[in-house]
Amino acid sequence: MYCPVRCCFTMSVPPPPISITIHPITEKTKLEYIGKDNRGMSSLKTTRRLDLEVRSPVPADIDIANSVEPLPITDIAESLNLRPNDYDLYGKYKAKVLLSVLDELQGCEDGHYVVVGGITPTPLGEGKSTATVGLCQALGAFLDKKVVTCLRQPSQGPTFGIKGGAAGGGYSQVIPMDEFNLHLTGDIHAITAANNLLAAAIDSRMFHEASQSDKALFNRLCPPNKEGKRTFADVMFRRLQKLGISKSSPDELTSDEIKRFVRLDIDPDSITWRRVMDVNDRFLRKITVGEGTEEKGMIRDTGFDISVASEIMAVLALMTSLADMRERLGRMVIGNSRNGDPITADDLGVGGALTVLMKDAINPTLMQTLEGTPVLVHAGPFANIAHGNSSIVADKVALKLAGKGGFVVTEAGFGADIGIEKFINIKCRYSGLVPHCAVIVATIRALKMHGGGPDVVAGKPLPHAYLTENLALVEAGCVNLARHITNTKAYGVNVIVAINKFATDTDAEVNAVRTAALAAGAFEAVVCTNHAHGGKGAVDLGFAVQRACEGQSQRLNFLYPLDIGIKEKIEAIAKSYGAGAVEYSEQAEKKIEMYTKQGFSGLPICMAKTQYSFSHIPSQKGCPNGFVLPIRDVRASIGAGFIYPLVGTMSTMPGLPTRPCFYEIDVDVATGKVRGLS
């Protein structure tokens, strides 16, 4: 199996074609002049063919990842025409691509934009990340297209918990796999630090306001300098503007203005901001703070979420520049005053400090696949309570680097009812980007489950029905696939179904899925074996994606307009699930009224719903219709820019199973290589 990796070098004149050998594991490297690059400079294109030894049965993911020596990340950067001052190195195999690249390539054409979603999954997952990586390996390593994969950064919670990592699988992975699944370049750690700084600021401000007079607060917030002159910190002008106070000197404030300025008067019962950590720890879901003797009885109940559930993660994914991130972080709402006014991070004076903690995380991380095609890893918001997509800036950078005729493949979390719906109605709204094609990944296993098959439980052997041919279950379950196709086509994009084929799947079962997919309106339905064969196993999918992107109109049909009410937007999404009605709790009704009064009703909706069913009940498989969708609460991520209704019970802090993945994870002390990651 071979992989052409294209690296471009600038030269003053076009050279004649030559052949050289540059690495002991390469068969041949061919240098060929390809004209001007996207910065108007003469370029050389090198095609490196790397041997990818494929074994059967497929070894463990970490063993495959450890068997391949990654190319230096500088080679991957050169293949994208990136210059050394366009990125910062993080070791030999990772680099941060600087957002200044977007300014330099502003006038260049974008590549084709492809989003990958899936059918409603089993708890085992259906190989969506693996199909995303395999498609890019096929496009880049076999079909000679310039391609960039855009993926979310995985959380350490599932990596050490029950699901494992998110680097893909088999012979379609991002490498180094251990670095991808663990600390990477520290973005999640930066989010954790920023989130918890804001949490500390909230409790600290309430403590100081409870124990000081207006005058004492004012003297400490705006202390006189050596000359006896008071000044406002720059961030304070944001609060003054919000209060309608246009004065520039603290000494000009009246006693009433001083009171309004210094007293946030946060209602403890309204606080929605919680602390976070990137570990599954069920015992931190609910905690009590303020138990220390020096906290003077300021005790309140709160809890921890997992770091990727933080609104700061959603901000990172949806911001479009450093300036945009600063504004979004500053306007994050942490709760209300006792008068019902929203309290923001900038009201607390911490928006600038949060941005400083996040200033390096703003840049996407460059990595590579097993077959040497480039990958941008950035952000990792939850796909059920947040929008579950990698960052806007990573996609924008990738589209410019891929250029005209190239491809950018980005993944949307969970099934298309969650991931692609939010990709279109939230991410594309803020980015202004329009996909040329959508891929929906399906497995025979999941379709059998939706057709009435027995429960699939992570960590337990698959029931017999999933290991032998059963056309009746497959055909019955295809109603789930059909709805995903219909919903996604309604956005105005071509839909391709990628059938992720397992060894136990029969030709008759695969043909049944293909027939059902085409009948539902899919542009094409193709079989993929990239888990077992790498990019070679997704070549048909690569050809189908090329055909689907050709001549595709650049226009989106959003599911709802922004200028309708919160309830109308919720009900439009519920209808796409198949719901016959929506039922709101008393608490949800009050929140909708409050957010509307506060001026937030124009934001898009991000439904927090189980990924295991179109409905709110995970056990309702297939294609349920006419059910009543219950909205038990409605919350707001104002900085990120969406309202999120809670459908049923959603956990923002997963727990560890009896036998977590960490039992298998260790290090080979002789070689330093990680063992047991999946």
Both tokens of 303, joined, read 């809890």
Q: Which DSSP symbol is given to 347?
A: T
Within its chain, how far is the Cα of 452 from the centroid?
31
Quick: pLDDT tens for 213-241. 999 999 999 999 888 899 999 999 999 99
**Residue 33 pLDDT grade (very low, low, confident, very high; cuts 50, 70, 90):** very low
Both tokens of 495, joined, read 């839909």
Q: What pLDDT shows up at residue 1? A: 34
Q: What pLDDT shows up at residue 671? A: 86
pLDDT at 36 over 60: no
* Residue 285: exposure state from Cβ atoms within 10 A (0-12, 13-18, ≥19): middle
Q: What pLDDT shows up at residue 161? A: 78
Q: Which DSSP symbol is given to 185?
A: T
pLDDT at 24 over 80: no
Please indicate, yes or no, whether the overall pTM of this predicted structure exceeds 0.75. Answer: yes
Are 157 and 308 contacting, i.e. CB atoms less than 8 angstroms apart? Answer: yes
Are 382 and 309 contacting, i.e. CB atoms less than 8 angstroms apart? Answer: yes
Quick: pLDDT tens for 470-497. 999 999 999 999 999 999 999 999 999 9
pLDDT at 88 over 90: yes
Integer Cα distance of 164 and 276 in angstroms: 20
Q: What pLDDT shows up at residue 259? A: 97
Q: Give the Cα-Cα-Cα angle 521, 524, 529 (nearest 5 degrees).
A: 135
Q: From the CB of residue 368, how many other CB atoms can be counted at a distance below 10 Å?
A: 25
Quick: pLDDT tens for 149-162. 999 998 887 778 77
**Residue 18 pLDDT grade (very low, low, confident, very high; cuts 50, 70, 90):** very low
Query: 45 has which bridge partners?
Result: 8, 32
Specify the residue for token string 């006038």: 107
Are 409 and 114 contacting, i.e. CB atoms less than 8 angstroms apart? Answer: yes
First-to-last C-alpha distance (Å) of the chain: 23
Quick: pLDDT tens for 109-143. 999 999 999 999 998 889 999 999 999 999 999 99
Share of the chain above pLDDT 90, in %: 79
Integer Cα distance of 251 and 228 in angstroms: 11
